[in-house]
Amino acid sequence: MAARLWEPGMSFDRVETFHTPSDAALRLYRKEAQEPRGVVQINHGLAEHAGRYARFAQALAERGYHTLAHDHRGHGATTAPGAPLGRFAQTDGARLVLEDAAAVLDLAAKDYPGLLVICFGHSMGGLIALNLVQRFPEKMQAAAIWNANFSAGLQGRLARALLGLERFRMGSDVPSQILPRLTFRAWGKAIPHARTEFDWLSHDASEVDAYIADPLCGWDASVSLWQDLFALIFAGADDAGFKSVPRTLPLQLVGGLEDPATEDGKATRALAERLEQLGFSNLKTRLYERTRHESLNELNRNIITADFLAWADRVTATR
C-alpha cells in the first residue's frame, strides 16, 4: 500500500494565510463544528506541520470544537522574514514563535467570541504551549501539554554549550550536526528491531511511512532553531515563570511509556510533579502503555483522542 501523504487542507474546512504582528504569513488551517462549545488552538511539533492534525480536527469538530492550527515559522508553508525551512528567525526566534501563536489565540477569541479556548501542543508544540501559559494565561481557559520534555538539567546545559560551539564554528543558519545525533537519531536507535529510523514516532507503520514520505517532515533543524528550542525548555523549567498563572487553570499532560523523546514518560511525570508542587489544582496527567512519541498517530489513537475529548468536555462543563 502506498504511503498516505498529508496534503495541505486535507479534512480542514479552510486553509488561509494569517498575517501576524511579527510580519509572519502563517499557513492557517480551520475546522469548524456545527454546534460549537469551544475552540482548540493546535501547536505542532518539530520538523512537521499542522496539516498532519486533520484527523484530530475532524474528531474535535464532531464533538463540538472548532480547530485553529497553523504552521509555525520555519515549518510547513508559513513564511516569515529570516525564517526559511528549519529556522524560526535570524534572531530572537523563541519570542517570535510565541508571539505568532499568541496572535492565533487572539484570532480564536475574535472569530469565536464567548467560546472557551484550549491551547494544545505536541512535543515542540508542547514547549510552545507551556510558554504561552506562562506569558499569556489570559488568552486561554485551558491547556494540553503532550509529549514535551522540559528537562533543563546538566544534559540541557551541555546541549546548549555544544550548540554555542557549533554556532561559533559554523554559524547559526546551517543544520546542527550534533543535536540530531543526540535526539532524533538516538531515539531511533532506542527502538528494538526498528524497521526505519523514525519508528520512535509510532507503532503504526503506515503513519511512520507517511511521515517519511512527506517532504515537509523529518528535516534537520538549524543551530539557531535548536538554540531557540532550548530557550523555550529553560523558560518552561523556571518555576518563576508561573507566578501570574491562575492555579485553577485546567491543564492536561499526556505522554507515552515507550516514547524515547520523553525518557519513556519520565519527563511528563516530572512536569506533573513540578506543577503539583507549584499548587496547580486542576491537573490531569495520563501516560499510555505501548505509546511512542506521536500519540495522535499511534495504534491506540482513538482511545487517546476520546480521553482528550472527555477532558475537554469536563473543562467546558465547569466553566
- pLDDT per residue over 254-299, tens digit each? 999 999 999 999 999 999 999 999 999 999 999 999 999 999 999 9
In a domain, residue 266? The reply is yes
State how far Cα 139 lies from the chain centre.
17
Note the pLDDT tens digit of each residue in 123-160. Answer: 999 999 999 999 999 999 999 999 999 987 767 777 77
CA distances, 257 to each of 9, 39, 75, 76, 269 (Å)? 32, 29, 28, 29, 11
Residue 221's DSSP bridge partners are none
* Phi, psi angles (nearest 5°) of residue 254: -130, 140
pLDDT at 314: 97
Model pTM? 0.95
* pLDDT of residue 9 exceeding 60: no
In a domain, residue 286? The reply is yes
In a domain, residue 9? The reply is no
Number of domains in the chain: 1
Residue 203 · residue 295 · CB < 8 Å = no
Which residue segment(s) compose the domain that 300 sits in? 14-317
In a domain, residue 6? The reply is no
SS percent in the chain: helix, strand, coil, step 5: 45, 15, 40
Residue 289 sits in a domain of what CATH number? Answer: 3.40.50.1820
Note the pLDDT tens digit of each residue in 237-266. Answer: 999 999 999 999 999 999 999 999 999 999
Residue 104 C-alpha cell reads as 492565533
In a domain, residue 2? The reply is no
273: Cβ contacts below 8 Å, ≥ 6 apart: none
In a domain, residue 165? The reply is yes
pLDDT at 6: 45
Taking residues 175-195, report their average pLDDT: 92
Taking residues 16-41, report their average pLDDT: 97
pLDDT band at residue 13 using 50, 70 and 90 as cut-offs = very high
Residue 35 CA to residue 47 CA, distance in Å, equals: 34
* pLDDT of residue 2 exceeding 50: no
In a domain, residue 3? The reply is no
* Phi, psi angles (nearest 5°) of residue 255: -150, 170
Question: What is the per-residue DSSP string for 16-57?
Answer: EEEE-TTS-EEEEEEE--SS--EEEEEE--TT--GGGGHHHH
- Which among 125, 89, 128 has a CA at the least distance from the CA of 224? 89
In a domain, residue 7? The reply is no
